[in-house]
Amino acid sequence: MAWVFRNWKWALTVLALLLVSGTIVYAYHVSVEIAAKERRYVAAWVEAEKTILSSADTASLNLASRIATENNDIPIIETDANGNPTGNFLNWEPDQSLDLKQALNKALMDFKAHHPQPIRLDLPGNKGQYLLYYYGPSPLLQEVKWYPLVQLLIVLLFLGVAFESVRLASSNAQNKLWASMAKETAHQLGTPVSSLSGWLEILKEKNNPDPLYHEMAKDIEKLQLVTDRFGKIGSIPRPEWHNPVGLVQAAVDYMNQRSSHQVEISLTHTLPQDFLVMLMPTLFQWVLENLIKNALDAMEGKGLIQVQLEKDEAYFRLSVEDNGKGIPKSERKKIFTAGFTSKQRGWGIGLTLSQRIIEVYHGGKLLLDWSEPEKGTRFLVLLPLAKTTHPNA
């Protein structure tokens, strides 16, 4: 039972397959039974026709006539001993696009495919002469044969709705969890950051503050920014028009000052000076810094990180490329999954949160654009221009 709850998708799929398989087997059994009954009905009809042709007994004629007229759904075509249609048929509508002979021959081939053995009627008074009666499936038999397919479509629709409902419920629960964690983190950070700001003000009151004062101020300001970022996850912050070059340059400068001197982080762009996009600055910079930090980890203290800004007809594009160790092919589909990390330390939520920020709050995409072992990795952020470009840009 525990396995069923842990693997509910597989359990539901197996149940659906069993249901469809059972339906197919039962429908086949029913169709065989109906086909056997229809052959008996046709045989009885042929025998009734023979009675009508040969009998003079009124009671027999009445019974035969009743049997002959009761068949109103099984299509029948009469042929001579050589299998050529005589032109007599019952419960069958000819194809109006063909002449009668062609339509009969075409229908006859179809009937033979369903029931290759016809019912024989020996003509009374004509020794050795006989007629053959071929018959096709009744509407009921055709419906029974279609039933498994209809059942399969219903089951597939049910599975689709069930999977999507569970996925949405899981996604909503996960979103609430992320929001709760982020807000709690912001709350926990708030008190010590405020305290550090107070101590920094005390240092500032000295006539000759420590030379490291300004760097400490920058780091505390950064902590306040991180706190603000966590606080905005789960809420609905309003985007604003910003020049992305200034925001990206500030993040690159900050990361350059706090990374190894053997690592170079460069920024290039082809954007006009008045280019603006609709951004949430603190969250957007968080994504960029997270991508740069991942690049720094991949290079192990030495290398080049290239940040590039550009635009095409559809998107504003930000790429972060490093020449580090790359991402193994086996891990590329997992990197945006919460909890997955290739580092010895870490929660594995950086890229997951970054993707959420770009997709949910900016309406864009965060993609792994390229990666090759021992050569490097490139991540790409795409923001649709139709949603983010300032009308005056």
Q: For residue 21, is pLDDT > 90?
A: no
Q: For residue 350, is pLDDT > 80?
A: yes
* pLDDT of 376: 95
Residues 6+ apart with CB under 8 A from 168: none
Give 5's pLDDT tier (boundaries 50, 70, 90).
very low
Which CATH number fits the domain that encloses residue 269? 3.30.565.10
Q: 150-166: per-residue pLDDT in tens?
A: 777 887 787 778 777 77
In a domain, 193, yes or no: no
307: containing domain: 237-388
Number of domains in the chain: 2
Rounded mean pLDDT of the chain? 81
- Is residue 244 within 8 Å of 322, Cβ to Cβ? no
Q: If we measure between CA atoms, which residue out of 8, 3, 5 comes closest to residue 163?
A: 8
Among residues 137, 163, 184, the one where a domain terminates is 137
In a domain, 171, yes or no: no
Among residues 107, 137, 167, the one where a domain terminates is 137
Residues 6+ apart with CB under 8 A from 305: 263, 264, 265, 266, 292, 295, 296, 299, 320, 321, 322
If asked whether residues 130 and 248 sit together in one domain, one would say no
* pLDDT of 20: 75
Higher pLDDT, 233 or 282: 282
Q: For residue 367, is pLDDT > 90?
A: yes
Q: For residue 59, is pLDDT > 90?
A: no
Q: Which range has the worst mean pLDDT, 10-24, 169-183, 339-353, 354-368? A: 169-183
Distance CA 174, CA 168 (A): 10
* pLDDT of 237: 67
> Residue 195 in 3-state DSSP?
helix
In a domain, 263, yes or no: yes
If asked whether residues 16 and 133 sit together in one domain, one would say yes
Please compute the mean of the pLDDT values over residues 59-76 and round it to a whole number: 75
If asked whether residues 241 and 376 sit together in one domain, one would say yes
Give 254's pLDDT tier (boundaries 50, 70, 90).
confident
If asked whether residues 257 and 380 sit together in one domain, one would say yes
Question: Which residues are paired to 377 by β-bridges?
Answer: 322, 371
DSSP string, 200-216: HHHHHTSSS--TTHHHH
Give 94's pLDDT tier (boundaries 50, 70, 90).
confident
DSSP string, 211-248: TTHHHHHHHHHHHHHHHHHHHHTTS-PPPEEE-HHHHH
Query: What's the pTM value of the predicted model, to 2 decimals?
Result: 0.53
In a domain, 317, yes or no: yes
- Is residue 295 within 8 Å of 305, Cβ to Cβ? yes
Among residues 72, 105, 137, the one where a domain terminates is 137
CB neighbour burial string for 244-263, b if at least 16 within 10 angstroms, e if fewer: beebbeebbebbbeebeeeb
In a domain, 328, yes or no: yes
Q: Which range has the worst mean pLDDT, 105-109, 241-245, 300-304, 389-393? A: 389-393
Give 41's pLDDT tier (boundaries 50, 70, 90).
confident
If asked whether residues 121 and 244 sit together in one domain, one would say no
- Is residue 385 within 8 Å of 315, Cβ to Cβ? yes
In a domain, 164, yes or no: no
Higher pLDDT, 72 or 308: 308
Q: 271-310: per-residue pLDDT in tens?
A: 998 899 988 888 899 899 999 999 999 987 889 999 999 9
* pLDDT of 2: 44
* pLDDT of 3: 47
CB neighbour burial string for 30-60, b if at least 16 within 10 angstroms, e if fewer: ebeebbeebeebbebbbebbbbeeeeeeeee
* pLDDT of 235: 63
If asked whether residues 263 and 379 sit together in one domain, one would say yes
User: Which tokens is 79 given?
Assistant: 């042929």
Q: Which range has the worst mean pLDDT, 175-189, 307-321, 350-364? A: 175-189
Q: For residue 45, is pLDDT > 50?
A: yes
